[in-house]
Structure 1
Amino acid sequence: MNKVSPIKVLIMSIFSTSTLFAGDLGLQGIDVTAPASTYSNSYSGSATKTNTRLIDLPQSVNVINQEQLKDQQATSLGQSITYAPGIDLDQGEGNRDAFIIRGNKTTADIFLDGVKDDAEYYRDLYNIERVDVLMGANGILFGKGGSGGIVNRVSKQASFIDFNSYSLQLGSFDSRRATLDINRKITDRFAVRLNVLADKGDSFIKGVNYEKQGINPVFTYLLDDKTTVKFGREYFHDQRVGYRGIPSQNKRPYNGNRGTYYGAASASPNEVSVNSTFFNIEHNFSDNVNIKNTTRYTDYDKYYQNVYAGSSVSSSDMLTLKGYYDNTQRQNFFNQTDVTWNFEIGGLEHTLLTGLEVGSQDNRRYRLTAANQTVSIHNPVSSGWNFNTYARDKKTDIRYTSVYFQDQIKINNQHQFVLGLRKDHYETDFNNVKDSTKFNIKDNMLSSRIGYIFKPTENISYYVSYSNAYQPRNGDQLDGISNDNVNQDPEKFVNYEVGTKIQFNEQLFGTFALYQLERERMQITDPDDVTKKIIVDGQRSRGLEFTLNGNLTDRYSVLAGYNYVNAEITKDQGVGSSAISKGTRLGNVASHNFSIWNKYEFNSTWSAAIGMIGRGEMYAATPTSSTSVTIPGWVRMDAAAYARIDEKTIVQFNIENLLDKTYYSSAHNVNNIMVGMPLNAKITWIRDF
């Protein structure tokens, strides 16, 4: 904790001499659908693949625009969703993005420009324009998965306006970050944009550090007045020490020094390299007919090694440590073709989307384990780890074809419908190399969606919707097939939702949603016969979400959100010490979450922001008859300060966990509980040139 002390002194100095401020950063590349200097958004292209007003969408959509990302200095995907209701961070074993959306855990429902980016790594936002969070089952446009919702990153593209900017950042724990964003109009038909990242730092956890680099050139070429070609390539590299948190004791997180590493930091390296190439061509046949084809190929090369707490702390203060090495090689190829037709027939206005998607995924993942070690909780560090036990080796090759259609029907100014269907055919060749077993699995899934929107006035809408999605037995990371489930149909997720949306004015937007999300065809151990597996409809989330985003006055902006969810098991599951009773709350899902971020612009130079995030208590994992660990609720305060030095220069100061609250942000299981960041700060210099 000694590293934080100079920051505390700096904060006290700032608070004693000036007022905190937050305001318009004034950088290029702001989402054109959002009014300047506001967190409000009017449109989304993610939810329907057409540029649709949010008020006309029959589902809850949270658009985290460039203004919000900059004001909060959210530089990673995990940080970006902190103030979004209904979605929470999962721990991700200290090596990947993982989310819980409406009670459903996912590491794969993550997209880039509408194309699946489902490998396990931490995503940076150096080249991202905005983040769209779509709530509920989203099968008809996004295919397999999308059970509780999806997260879609919208990337920065080359435009025909010259601009340049860079940012330099220094922060707590020796963090240093630099980004560069250059856009050039080469000719009237050709433009190029380059985004570059360099970022490294330490942590409040002893022995933990990270370093990452990224470079992303993209190009836009106008073949003619009706045809646009976009293409680009990204290289991203992340190298860090993995950290899986603290163990439990007496059904609570262990109350120790939050800077202690429980395991062996030196034996927990993580590294990933991502090489991604895309090509997009779009042609307007007329004002009413458009075709777009997108191809993306991505190669992921990742390994991670963990030495972590593998047990709770015993009454004699002893702790078991476990360790393994995991290697994943994946190649994704996806091609999407979308045709959009705008027409009127029988007095009804139609926006019809028809699509074809084909793809392949080749995945190889193997694991080596080491013998457990027992240490004292007072010196929970170990050495001499030998990862030499061959524990897992799985190879998965997937090929799929999907066809889909969606019709947005406007009957009149008051009544609209959204209808959709998608047919997915998945063929999986699965090879359990270690056990010499092979399977060929064919899955056929029919996803659907129906939504009705009623608009008594132009600025108010009410909606009801039904949607579903499927998850084949290969799971999030493509290697979940076993002898027990190979012949089982995919899991099914069904979302029912009603809500209202209000456009108070051009820069203030509010939403309210009630939902029920059901998980069907879960495979569980038969409570009456431990030797058998059975399929049940065994999980349900019921909840409500509220958001208010935008400007309350010309100077005062707000982000506010609240989420309540009752996520529970609906059928008795498991046997003996692993039994889970009907009515048990799901792990890592708090019933109550709220957030509010306020910023005020005092004048053209100075602005101020202060935020608060709160979460109720939750279980670290779904309780069984023998294990239950509760993570206490917490409230965290953040703040930010901004000064516009001149027309091209802004300096901002962001503080996280202003009151230095000790809290627990997420968990992977009952003995891998993530400690939230202590008080930390960063100062950022942003310059257009």
Structure 2
Amino acid sequence: MSQVKKGGQAKGCLIINASICSALVGMAVSAMSGEVQAQTHLPAVEVKADAEGYKARETIAATKTDTALRDIPQSISVVTKKQIEDQAAQSLAEALLYVPGVGFAQGEGNRETPIFRGVSTTGDFFVDGIRDDVQYYRDLYNIERVEVFKGPNAMIFGRGATGGLINRVTKTPTQTVIRDASLTLGSNSNRRATVDINQPISENLSFRLNGMYEDSDSYRDGVSIKRKGINPTLLMRIAPKTNVTLGYEHFEDDRIADRGITSFGGRPVSVDPSTFFGNAAGSPTWTKLDAFTALIEHTFDNGVELRNRTRWADQDKFYQNVFASGPASGNTAASTFSVGAYNNMTTRRNFFNQTDAIFKFNTGEVKHTFLVGTEFGEQETTNFRQTGTFAGSSTATLGNPTNTTPVTYAQSATDANSRTKAKIAALYIQDQIELTKQLQIIAGLRYDKFQVDFRNNRNGATTRSDDGLVSPRVGLVFKPIAPLSLYANYSIAYQPRAGEQLGSLSAADADLKPEKFKNYELGAKWDVTDKLAATAALYRLERSNMRVLLDPNNPNSAVLTDGQRTDGFELGLTGYVTNNWSVSGGYAYTDAIFTKAISATVQAGARVAMVPKNTFSLWNRYDFSERVGAGLGAIHRTKSFAANEQTPAGPNVILPAYTRFDAAMFVKIDKNWRAQLNVENLFDKEYFINAHSNTNITPGSPRAFRVTLNASF
């Protein structure tokens, strides 16, 4: 292994005025020849009926064009609005429970941390195809569906998107009157209300309003959640072929940061699932988010489509933990464990602008859908962290795991006090080529100029990282028969040295190449019927340029190595088996390992944390009549490690395998009213959901109920 440095990368202005670029694209569009296929409609004027129950038909985000899922050479799972409602899902983790190959780590109890193909992330979230780069628990009150793209996706989405990503598609105004409301009451004082109102004002103007309020407790002692959100959206047809959609969201989330329980002897300690370790009252976390979005769409007379999307977001976030910071000394009530404390305040301001032009034309018998696009962005983040010092004992016992000792917070020598400013300018092109009815090719290339300026406010030191990222994607689709697609895919993505949250950049790391992720994938997509889809994917994901310190005391001794590999297989099934029976779920085999030593405790052969080798999930809904239906779901996960640190001496903490069942009942009272009962963990199974480390493990909920009353007028 040898140290790898970047070189030959051009410096200079990173952000180009987006309006100039848009004008240039518009000029190019207007100059297109008559070969472009005429098209008189304007896309996305209405929300398309592209889902049949649980089965989605197409997506825009994967290619930035209207493309059938069957024609995209990539593993994609879509959780539709119908499935979200049937499962009474209130968070992303709940909505994705039945998606094969996706899991969630604990995220320190204050943010979502999905795991795609052995790669965890807190940054690969998008909304309507544009980056949603803030750390919080995303709600589903204003979401039409959730799309999960697996494998590296940098060609379309830019930096990050390494193992996969989540794209939320928001509810937008239509020409249909909507008057929907719901009220949910459940176990642990679950109290939640939502409203969805859509009002056409004229044939050229529609307004939609989504709102939510929740005030709930938890099965975990002392843990509560209060959140509220409002999202008005306006769609205007300002010309026969020009639409403008404007939206604003205000969202607040106040809760207790829950780090779970600790471990002893290689497994979680044996306590009641409700037991909080540390101090719940001393662990508040809150976030406030304001976001503005604007979408402008125009179709030219020659059929060329132009789309410009802007998102501005402003987030303030605070979290504090008083938590178990070490394993227990034994497994009796008198056994002690250490307690730690810290807090962190983060502010983040995001601005992203995307412009896409889509051309459809023929070269002889070959059909093309050609995309050219640009993205410009600026992101500014401040971090201020403090470590807690206990006035007395910093331990607790398994018999009394709450530590109420007063804590004083102040900056330690290693606590962050920093400001990061990131700038991005990107250009991407893509061609979807239909050689014949049976053979298609998707090829694309993206170039990102990505610059990070990091300032350590403690000493005034500044560091800059300047990357030129080239991200290709090539896919082949072959259709031996119309309902069946066989595909092959190759793609690359990068993670800059400042990390997924751009939170730290040392001088020693600034010149190191970014982490690199390569994905090789073969798969099949089969529309078994018009309402039922089956998918299969076989892949290898390789992670390279991983940073290793030869001398832990010398930051300049860093070298890069090819350090992680994931081999896997995924099966998925969604849609209607019969007119009355809906299903969604699948199976995933995921073999994620470190191929070389990354640190003293993460050795070659260690398994990636929180990644079971085998997972199975299947949700079913059966309608006995137009008025009565029932649901039954099963989730099985084999054992996994709580942390990457696995040594022969141990103890290496293992989360045991488990199988959990969920159930539901649905009743249509009349044409306006519907009621449903959802039961989580039907057989009251004791299990562990996830972890952040060997000493922070989240127990699963005991049996819990939710009753929802839905009204539509």
Verify same fold: TM over 0.5: yes
- Structure 1 residues 593 and 435: alpha-carbon distance in aligned structure 2, compared to 1, 3 A threshold: farther
- Structure 1 residues 377 and 287: alpha-carbon distance in aligned structure 2, compared to 1, 3 A threshold: farther
> How far apart are 1:527 and its partner, in Å?
7.8
RMSD of equivalent CA atoms: 1.4
For residues 487-526 of structure 1, what are the structure 2 equivalents within 5 Å? 487-526=511-550
Query: Which residue in 1 is equivalent to 2:561?
Result: 536
Which residue identity lines up with residue 59 of structure 2 in the other structure?
S
1:68 aligned counterpart, secondary structure: helix
Encode CA deviations 1:295-351: one digit per residue, 9 max, x unaligned: 110000110111111000013611100011100000000000000111111321001
Residue 165 (structure 1) aligned with residue 183 (structure 2): no
Query: Which residue in 2 is equivalent to 1:636?
Result: 660
> How far apart are 1:399 and its partner, in Å?
1.1
Query: Which residue in 1 is equivalent to 2:335?
Result: 317
Residue 212 (structure 1) aligned with residue 227 (structure 2): yes
> CA–CA distance in 2 between the matches of 1:540 and 1:238?
36
> CA–CA distance in 2 between the matches of 1:251 and 1:655?
31
> CA–CA distance in 2 between the matches of 1:573 and 1:398?
28
Which residue identity lines up with residue 199 of structure 1 in the other structure?
E
Query: Which residue in 1 is equivalent to 2:486?
Result: 462
For residues 12-23 of structure 1, what are the structure 2 equivalents within 5 Å? none
Out of 192, 198, 205, the position equivalent to 2:207 is 192
Query: Which residue in 2 is equivalent to 1:10?
Result: none
Query: Which residue in 2 is equivalent to 1:9?
Result: none
2:646 aligned counterpart, secondary structure: coil
Encode CA deviations 1:380-409: one digit per residue, 9 max, x unaligned: 111211112342212100111000011100
Encode CA deviations 1:394-441: one digit per residue, 9 max, x unaligned: 210011100001110000111100000000001111001124321122
Q: 8 Å contact 1:423–1:445 — kept in the other structure?
A: yes
1:482 aligned counterpart, secondary structure: coil
TM-score by length of 1: 0.94
Residue 143 (structure 1) aligned with residue 158 (structure 2): yes
Which residue identity lines up with residue 478 of structure 2 in the other structure?
F
**Identity, % of aligned pairs?**
39
Query: Which residue in 1 is equivalent to 2:311?
Result: 296
> CA–CA distance in 1 between the matches of 2:236 and 2:346?
36
Q: 8 Å contact 1:30–1:66 — kept in the other structure?
A: no
Query: Which residue in 2 is equivalent to 1:574?
Result: 599
> CA–CA distance in 2 between the matches of 1:549 and 1:335?
34
- My pick for the range that moved more, 278-287 or 101-110, is 278-287
Out of 396, 403, 409, the position equivalent to 1:382 is 403
Q: 8 Å contact 2:341–2:388 — kept in the other structure?
A: yes
Out of 612, 629, 637, the position equivalent to 1:590 is 612
Encode CA deviations 1:32-57: one digit per residue, 9 max, x unaligned: 1012xx21121111211111111111
- Structure 1 residues 297 and 528: alpha-carbon distance in aligned structure 2, compared to 1, 3 A threshold: closer
Query: Which residue in 1 is equivalent to 2:469?
Result: 445
Query: Which residue in 1 is equivalent to 2:269?
Result: 254
For residues 43-442 of structure 1, what are the structure 2 equivalents within 5 Å? 43-286=58-301, 288-315=303-330, 317-371=335-389, 373-383=394-404, 384-390=406-412, 391-442=415-466
> CA–CA distance in 1 between the matches of 2:567 and 2:279?
41
1:371 aligned counterpart, secondary structure: strand
1:173 aligned counterpart, secondary structure: helix
2:155 aligned counterpart, secondary structure: helix
> How far apart are 1:31 and its partner, in Å?
6.1
1:74 aligned counterpart, secondary structure: coil
> How far apart are 1:678 and its partner, in Å?
1.2
1:186 aligned counterpart, secondary structure: strand
> How far apart are 1:442 and its partner, in Å?
0.9
> How far apart are 1:289 and its partner, in Å?
0.7
Encode CA deviations 1:540-591: one digit per residue, 9 max, x unaligned: 000000001111111111112100011000112323xx3x221211111111
Q: 8 Å contact 1:214–1:234 — kept in the other structure?
A: yes
> CA–CA distance in 2 between the matches of 1:645 and 1:139?
47
Query: Which residue in 1 is equivalent to 2:699?
Result: 675
> CA–CA distance in 2 between the matches of 1:334 and 1:530?
38
Residue 32 (structure 1) aligned with residue 56 (structure 2): no
Q: 8 Å contact 1:30–1:129 — kept in the other structure?
A: no
Query: Which residue in 1 is equivalent to 2:29?
Result: none
Query: Which residue in 1 is equivalent to 2:622?
Result: 600
- Structure 1 residues 287 and 151: alpha-carbon distance in aligned structure 2, compared to 1, 3 A threshold: farther
Residue 623 (structure 1) aligned with residue 645 (structure 2): yes
Q: 8 Å contact 2:116–2:164 — kept in the other structure?
A: yes
Q: 8 Å contact 1:608–1:641 — kept in the other structure?
A: yes
Query: Which residue in 2 is equivalent to 1:26?
Result: none
> CA–CA distance in 2 between the matches of 1:429 and 1:388?
26
Query: Which residue in 1 is equivalent to 2:30?
Result: none
Q: 8 Å contact 1:171–1:680 — kept in the other structure?
A: yes
TM-score by length of 2: 0.90
> How far apart are 1:529 and its partner, in Å?
9.5
Q: 8 Å contact 1:493–1:520 — kept in the other structure?
A: yes
1:338 aligned counterpart, secondary structure: strand
Encode CA deviations 1:634-683: one digit per residue, 9 max, x unaligned: 00000000000011111000010001111111110110011111110110
Q: 8 Å contact 2:463–2:506 — kept in the other structure?
A: no
Q: 8 Å contact 2:215–2:226 — kept in the other structure?
A: yes
2:669 aligned counterpart, secondary structure: strand
Residue 480 (structure 1) aligned with residue 504 (structure 2): yes
> CA–CA distance in 2 between the matches of 1:529 and 1:536?
19
Query: Where do 5+ consecutive residues of structure 1 fail to align?
Result: 1-28
> How far apart are 1:496 and its partner, in Å?
0.4
Q: 8 Å contact 1:31–1:130 — kept in the other structure?
A: no
Which residue identity lines up with residue 688 of structure 2 in the other structure?
Y
Q: 8 Å contact 2:254–2:287 — kept in the other structure?
A: yes
- Structure 1 residues 662 and 586: alpha-carbon distance in aligned structure 2, compared to 1, 3 A threshold: same
Q: 8 Å contact 1:642–1:653 — kept in the other structure?
A: yes
> CA–CA distance in 1 between the matches of 2:287 and 2:223?
16
Q: 8 Å contact 1:526–1:573 — kept in the other structure?
A: no
Name the count of aligned residue pairs. Answer: 656
> How far apart are 1:224 and its partner, in Å?
1.4
> CA–CA distance in 2 between the matches of 1:648 and 1:87?
36
